[in-house]
Chain A
Amino acid sequence: EPEVTQTPSHQVTQMGQEVILRCVPISNHLYFYWYRQILGQKVEFLVSFYNNEISEKSEIFDDQFSVERPDGSNFTLKIRSTKLEDSAMYFCASTMMGGREETQYFGPGTRLLVL
């Protein structure tokens, strides 16, 4: 069964450093998402992406964050200058969108720790 993959599974970085989290969505999906989950808290929406542009973003997704689909298969989340509070599990998700195919498929996540 096709699945969403994410790399790396774990990343440790120093505050102020840039990180890039990578995702490979399911190949025929059209909509892509990033969510985050701080330990013990709710899963929070960050951004949705369709047709090579951001379709919606949350208040969390400020100028420090950016997303890109550089080559038609990868979908990346970049954090330009990490802060301690960026430590969380980051999930990528993809969906076909539209009726029965709107099920969101999540990747296994990248655990980011900012020191």
Chain B
Amino acid sequence: KQEVTQIPAALSVPEGENLVLNCSFTDSAIYNLQWFRQDPGKGLTSLLLIQSSQREQTSGRLNASLDKSSGRSTLYIAASQPGDSATYLCAVRASGTYKYIFGTGTRLKVLA
């Protein structure tokens, strides 16, 4: 059964820092992995999607990497800003299924 874990659970950093959020999954037979952002009381916004054949994806200050064999993905945020404060979720879609399994998230606070 696929399990998705995210560490750290919470992170507080000063503005301008570069930071790394981690996601690990137990079954490497995945179809793709998505990183989402969730603001309090709101829906999820997809940030990056990495197909199983890819090793990384970039969008602006965000870079996500995928190491399928070791069951890990990282989300790198460059030059963090207070507006980046949110919960970041990773979700894995296993091969042969339609469903996404979510991690518990990392709650990020960027201090001005």
Which A residues contact B (CB, under 8 angstroms)?
A: 4, 31, 33, 35, 41-45, 48, 50, 55-56, 58, 91, 93, 99-100, 102-109
Residues of B within 8 A of A35 (CB): 100
| Pairwise interchain contact B43-A108, C-beta atoms closer than 8 A | yes
CB distance from A46 to the nearest CB of B (A): 9
- Docked pose: A81 CA to B102 CA in angstroms: 27
| Pairwise interchain contact A103-B99, C-beta atoms closer than 8 A | no
Partner of B46, one of A41, A103, A107: A103
Total CB contacts across the A-B interface at under 8 A: 52
Determine whether B49 belongs to the interface, using a CB cutoff of 8 Å to chain A.
yes
Determine whether B61 belongs to the interface, using a CB cutoff of 8 Å to chain A.
no
Determine whether B19 belongs to the interface, using a CB cutoff of 8 Å to chain A.
no
Partner of B44, one of A31, A41, A91: A91
Determine whether B89 belongs to the interface, using a CB cutoff of 8 Å to chain A.
yes
Majority secondary structure of chain B interface residues (helix, strand, loop or mixed):
strand
| Pairwise interchain contact A106-B44, C-beta atoms closer than 8 A | yes
Which B residues contact A (CB, under 8 angstroms)?
A: 32, 34, 36, 42-46, 49, 51, 89, 91, 97-105
Given A106-B44, A108-B42, A56–B34 Cβ distance below 8 Å?
no
CB distance from A95 to the nearest CB of B (A): 9
CB distance from B64 to the nearest CB of A (A): 13
Residues of A within 8 A of B49 (CB): 100, 102-103
CB distance from A26 to the nearest CB of B (A): 12
| Pairwise interchain contact A43-B99, C-beta atoms closer than 8 A | no
CB distance from A88 to the nearest CB of B (A): 13
| Pairwise interchain contact B32-A42, C-beta atoms closer than 8 A | no
Other A-B contacts than A42-B105, A45-B100, A104-B46, 15 sampled, CB-CB below 8 A, are A4-B43, A33-B99, A35-B100, A43-B44, A44-B102, A45-B99, A50-B98, A56-B97, A91-B43, A91-B44, A103-B34, A105-B46, A106-B36, A108-B42, A108-B43
